[in-house]
Chains A and B, each alone.
Chain A
Amino acid sequence: MNMNAIDFFKANEHKSTGGFVSQAQYVKDNWSWLKYSYAVAIKVRHRMKELGITQKDLAQRLECTQQHISVLLAGKANMTLETLAKLEQALSFDLIQGLLEFGNSIPDRDAVGYLNDSSVSGPIPDGFKTSDLVAGYQPRKKKGPKSSK
């Protein structure tokens, strides 16, 4: 017997707390600093590999818990300048230089940017307005021509 898919899904539904929506909302709300936190994590991981040191070693050098290092290396830590300076010192490398450029290397993109890209979703149908698709979407003002690098 054929069955309605939605009814079937509801009969076998899994309800989670803290699922995709809360995860995505957190990233969205905190991306302004998360992007730097991720960049720090990547650079610190790279340096640790070069030096061959473990999370435990780094925790000892920074006089903090291994749990704190784990959060830091996951790119989830909202670090102070003091922490950044301690990391530079503990790992003997220049962390901050180039960090801003690295953190900003990917422009902020919005939903409309994705959906306007025919390589992603195929051509936009005639008459379709991307503003209809995303709640609260306001077209960005162009800032003028990009400088060539």
Chain B
Amino acid sequence: MRFEDILHNGRLWSVVYDGDSQDILTKTFADWLDTGFLEEFFSRNIKDLETYFHITDLDQAIYDTIADAASLSCLILDIRPDANLDMLFRPLENQRIREMILSREKAKGKRTTSHSSWLRLYAIKLEKGTYLITGGAIKLTHFMAEREHTLNELKRMEMVRNYLLDNGIIDADGIKDETL
């Protein structure tokens, strides 16, 4: 496992999984901007699209995804070096009430005119304002565990978290603080 410094300021990192030539953030956005990938994905998940979003127009779903991915990538690109990345990410668990070490976080796209965004980026928070992207997904269901592709993102986050802990990484400063 290797790591890419996305914004070249040490604040936003992305995992390069073994066997991959690109980091996962770049790969995720490449998928979200790929009409072929999206056509195949939404064809496979059309029932979820209808059930959870009441959308039956596959073409519109593909276009919404591309437009939303473009906006989200521009947002990440435009974040200033001293900007607060905590504004982009929030806890994966909506009900989390206390901070935890190497917590799991998510960023999501903005609501479009007709529906909530289904784009999600997943990350591990190293410390305030410093994140490691572990993956991303098009989340159409309420819970991540409901579908294989989102369940795999959960597994990946856990795998990366364990990898960091196994290598003695506790947070960005290497300080173990149980009171976090």
A residues adjacent to B (C-beta < 8 A):
1-10, 12-16, 19-21, 23-25, 27-28, 31, 34-35, 38-39, 41-43, 45-46, 73-75, 102, 105-111, 113-115, 117, 119-122, 124, 128, 132-136
Task: Point out the residues of chain A lying under 8 angstroms from B116, CB to CB.
Answer: 119
A141 to B25, CA, bound (A): 33
The contact of A4 among B58, B63, B174, by CB within 8 Å, is B174
A20, B26: Cβ atoms closer than 8 Å: yes
- Complex Cα distance, B112 from A103, in Å, reads 14
Interface of B is mostly: mixed
- CB contact between A9 and one of B3, B21, B67, B79 (< 8 Å): that residue: B3
Whether the pair A20, B88 counts as a contact (CB closer than 8 A) is: no
The answer to whether A1 and B1 have CB atoms under 8 Å apart is no
Rounded to whole angstroms, the CA-CA distance of A66 and B113 in the bound complex is 36
User: Which range contains the number of B residues in contact with the other chain?
Assistant: 35 or more
- List 24 A–B pairs whose Cβ atoms lie within 8 Å, in order of A's numbering: A2-B168, A2-B170, A2-B174, A4-B169, A5-B174, A10-B5, A13-B2, A13-B4, A16-B26, A23-B73, A24-B77, A25-B77, A27-B74, A28-B74, A41-B35, A102-B63, A105-B113, A106-B64, A110-B71, A110-B75, A113-B110, A114-B71, A115-B87, A120-B109
Specify the chain A residue showing the minimal Cβ separation from B77: A24
* Cα distance A135–B107 in the bound complex, in angstroms: 20
Cα-based distance from A23 to B164 in the complex (angstroms): 28
Q: Does B150 contact A (CB under 8 A)?
A: no
| Nearest opposing residue in chain A for B133, CB measure | A20
Partner of B110, one of A24, A25, A73, A120: A120
CB distance B83 to A9 under 8 Å? no
Seen from chain B, the residues whose Cβ lies within 8 Å of a Cβ on chain A are: 1-8, 10, 13-14, 16, 21-23, 25-26, 29-30, 33-36, 39, 58-60, 62-64, 66-68, 70-80, 83-84, 87-90, 107-113, 116-117, 126-127, 130, 132, 164, 167-176
Q: Which residues of A contact B132 (CB under 8 A)?
A: 5, 9
Q: Is the CB of A75 within 8 A of B88?
A: no
Closest 7 CB pairs of A and B: A106-B67, A24-B73, A14-B2, A9-B3, A24-B77, A111-B75, A2-B174
| Known interface pairs A12-B2, A21-B6, A122-B90; A2-B175 also in contact (CB < 8 Å) | yes
Complex contact A115–B35 (CB within 8 A)? no
Beyond A21-B7, A111-B78, 7 extra complex contacts between A and B, CB < 8 Å: A8-B169, A14-B23, A24-B76, A105-B60, A105-B113, A114-B75, A115-B87
